[in-house]
Amino acid sequence: MSVDWGDASGDAGVPIDDRGFAYGDGLFETVLIQDGKPVLWQEHLARLARGCERLAIAEPDHHVLDALPAEAGSGLHVLKIIVTRGSGGRGYLPPASPRTRLRWQLSPFAPREDRWRDGVTVRLCALQLGCQPRLAGLKHLNRLENVLACQEWCDDRIAEGLLCDSDGMLVEATCMNLFWLRNGCLETPRLDRCGVAGTLRAALLAERPMKEVSYPVGVLNRVDALWIGNSVQGLWPVTCLENASGSPVMRWVISDVHRTFQSAAHGLLGYPSML
């Protein structure tokens, strides 16, 4: 297998027969860059490597990847890395010797500090995620479920939608992971059947005592604090949960408990503490 690195900007055109474009046959990473330095870079590289191994795609050279963040310059940026199997094959059947395609893009970024401070309202989505353990945890390019879920509301009050799997178990938000405090213990949904294993989630699991659990959405009636977060936006305290019809079902008041865990997450990202 070989790799097409793209042009110097990483934004070279992608042909119509690219398998990532045609079938979602690839992976991506979105990395926070602060003054040219990537945040949680090893966690991103590790997830990308797991995805390449599981999909049998040639992993990009780390020397090439390591050089990308410095192109951002000063300030906050988001680096999006896309790796596809390349072109060719017969229908869904991949080519015997694929030429992996790598593309990237850098964009200026400003986090939603109001959501750090004031918390957010989230809605339970009607859409349920399909279970496919071979893809569980990966940030693969086929995100149609997330696209459909995000179409369930057009209200700016709603910051995110929460997703369950086809068995009714809580999994994640549309582009964030879930965390909650219950009976004095931090918990996060287990992601062995579907969902994206976020890099902030991985760093928090490595640093703090936290259980990976499988529960239906009813567990949120018994939690003392709820957060959603990822490695770009940071951690947002949830103050209100609505059902799929838009009716409030749970509310939380932001407390020191919320701020303590939020500050731990923000410490990993280089974001300010809200304590």
Known active-site residue 30: yes
Among this protein's residues, is 174 annotated catalytic? Answer: no
Catalytic residue status for 80: no
Side-chain-side CA neighbours of 5 within 13 Å: the count stands at: 11
Beta bridge partner(s), residue 228: 178, 236
Out of 29, 30, 43, 84, pick the active-site residue: 30
The Cα–Cα gap between 240 and 212 comes to 23
Contacts of 148 (CB under 8 A, 6+ apart): 127
Can you list the positions of beta strands (E) in the chain? 2-4, 26-34, 37-38, 76-84, 99-108, 120-129, 158-165, 170-173, 177-182, 185-189, 211-213, 225-230, 234-242, 248-251
Closest listed residue to residue 179, CA positions, set 148, 206, 200: 200
Cβ neighbours of residue 181 closer than 8 Å, sequence gap 6 or more:
187, 223, 224, 225, 257, 261
Which of these is catalytic: 59, 172, 187, 242?
Answer: 172
Residue 246's Cα: distance from chain center in Å?
A: 24
Q: Which residue among 84, 139, 187, 188 is the active-site one?
A: 139
Active site residues: 30, 139, 172
